[in-house]
Amino acid sequence: MDAELDAAERTRALRFAPALLAWYGTEGRKDLPWQYERTPYRVWVSEIMLQQTQVGTARGYFERFMRRFPDVQSLAAAKLDEVLHLWSGLGYYARARNLHRAARIIVRDHGGAFPGTLEAAMALPGVGRSTAGAILALSRCERHPILDGNVKRVLARYFGVEGYPGEPAVGKRLWALSDICTPHHRVDEYTQAVMDLGATVCTRARPACLLCPVNAHCAVRETNRQDRLPAPRPRTRRPRRETWLVVARRGPRKVLLERRPPSGVWGGLWGLPEFPTRAHAEQWCREGLAAAASPQRGEPLRHAFSHFELEMHPLLVRCIGKAEELRDDDRFRWYDPAHPSKVGLPRPIALLIERATALPPGPSGHAAQSRARRSNTRSK
């Protein structure tokens, strides 16, 4: 891919990879768990985890995932619930669903081997151009430019690219610059190096410019604009939504879960029965749980998604009589947090369950929650 460069930019482009590779030899990260036995499968799983997650968080998840699913065949043969269970707490659960779907495609259509071309890799669910390029570069040393969030930041600063990287014209220019900077030798080391530079030195806030191996030719350092580039996403206020969740308890700790639809927020995971209003939730308690006691309102919980904020209002109810007869099936199941089953459970839902099972439902429990909330507020 070609890009029009002036003399200063050509100098920057020529000097970028050599300086970066020299730095990586002494300062780059070489002890990450996916760097051992660097197979396309292991690199693919790590790249999917790292799409929205920092290395420190992904490390433990990756190691647990590999112990259970050491190869693509074991992942393809697994039930989605178990995959989501191992992903619980990592967020952005569409990544796990896509990983599972892609594993089955690899086994079915590619003989269990990760696709050998960029186009075939990009055809897998959840694998875009940058992710596909990184997998092939890191695992097979094939030359493919990449442009994840860290690389966008590095190149935007190094070349002084104005504008928000999410804009098509800006993204196109950054792709062209990434292609020009990518060397034809030691591509695996370069790919890791440019990601490491963005993650550890050219960070979003307070970049360590004095430690940067390419600072001598960095455009923003010359003009002291590190805090202005790359340009941030245009600010828009995230809408706020609210929902009502029924925390139906049976016995000392068991809570009724309902499988969520396969798409949308927390798609395919297990959650609490959810309703748009309190009236709908209470009606379901009367009709669906029959002889359940009157529900009591619990402490609300707010959770921020990328495009909106969700305020969750739990209704606590003790199941008796007919409701006790509900049996586990594909839609409902009784969940015991003391002996959790292997299901995908979003972290906010797990927190609501933890709160509910720590206090008895009913007016006394609600009052205790209020006292605890006041106490927590005072201690902050």
269-309 per-position pLDDT tens digit: 899 999 999 999 988 888 877 656 678 899 999 998 878 89
Q: pLDDT value at position 5? A: 75
Read off the pTM.
Answer: 0.78
- For 116, other C-beta atoms within 10 Å of its C-beta total 12
| Model confidence at 329: pLDDT above 90 | no
Average pLDDT over residues 161-173: 95
Pick the closest to residue 47 from 120, 138, 112, 119 (CA basis): 138
What tens digit of pLDDT does each residue of 216-257 get? 999 999 889 998 999 988 887 889 999 999 999 888 788 999
Report residue 282: phi and psi, to 5°: -70, -35
Give yes or no for a contact between 364 and 318, defined as CB atoms under 8 angstroms apart.
Answer: no
β-sheet bridge partners, residue 256: 334
Verify cis geometry, omega within 30 degrees of 0, for the bond prior to 230. yes
Give backbone dihedrals phi and psi of 315, rounded to 5 degrees, phi first.
-115, 120
* Amino acid 148: pLDDT: 95
Mean pLDDT of 311-323: 81
For residue 375, the model assigns a pLDDT of 33
* Model pLDDT, residue 187: 97
**pLDDT(366) > 50:** no
**Active-site pick, 4, 37, 47, 287:** 47
- Look at residues 147, 33, 139, 45 and name the one whose alpha carbon lies nearest to residue 95: 45
Residue 84: pLDDT over 80: yes
Cα 292 → chain centroid: 37
The pair of structure tokens assigned to 229 is 């580039």
State the DSSP string of 26-69.
HHS----GGGSS--HHHHHHHHHHTTSS-HHHHHHHHHHHHHH-
pLDDT in tens, 19-35: 999 999 999 999 999 99
- Residues 366 and 296: beta-carbon distance below 8 Å: yes
Q: Give residue 371's pLDDT.
A: 38
Q: Is 27 a catalytic residue?
A: no
Q: pLDDT tier at 318 (50, 70, 90 boundaries)?
A: confident
Q: How many angstroms separate the CA atoms of 323 and 362, rounded?
A: 17
Label residue 321 by pLDDT band (50, 70, 90): low
Q: Please list the helix, strand and coil fractions of the chain in percent, rounded to the nearest 5, in that order.
A: 50, 10, 40
Domains of the chain: residue spans and CATH: 7-223 (1.10.340.30), 241-379 (3.90.79.10)
